[in-house]
Amino acid sequence: MTEASPGVIVFTTAGIVAAVYAFICHIRAERVARVAVNRVRDTRPGAWHSVVANNWLLRVANPAITIRVLRARHDVSDPQFDDHFQRVQDIERREYRAVAAAFVCIAVVLIGTRYWGWTW
């Protein structure tokens, strides 16, 4: 690794850090969404069963998907549910930005090794 160009080292490290941060954001979003979904399941079982009765996949799917379906199909007028929904959206936006940053970093490394003479 001592012979690698500084650009390769910096952008590879930045890409790895961005990818790990995106993974952490994904886990956080799932946890926050799971809390909201469990709350709806406990407080409004009718809304919960009407969503999962027709689609068995939502019972085992990512809670961040289930929270969107609950929000779209039912008027869940719970301030805590709305707060959790907003938090999930904010965390997912950060996740998407981190994934985009990782792709950009890897693209810069590929461009640098191809056209700018960087070495591994």
How many domains does the chain fold into?
A: 1
User: What's the half-sphere exposure (Cβ side, CA atoms, 13 Å) at 65?
Assistant: 9
* 120 within some domain: no
With respect to residue 56, please indicate whether it lies within any of the assigned structural domains.
yes
Residue 69 falls within a domain, yes or no? Answer: yes
> What stretch of H or E contains 87?
helix 79-115
Res 92: pLDDT: 93
Q: Is residue 28 part of a domain?
A: yes
pLDDT digits (tens, 9 = 90+) for 33-56: 888 888 888 888 887 777 777 666
Residue 1 is assigned to a structural domain of this protein: no
Place of tokens 């650009």: 7
In a domain, 77, yes or no: yes
Q: Which domain holds residue 104?
A: 6-115
For residues 51-68, average pLDDT? 72
Residue 20 has a pLDDT of 98
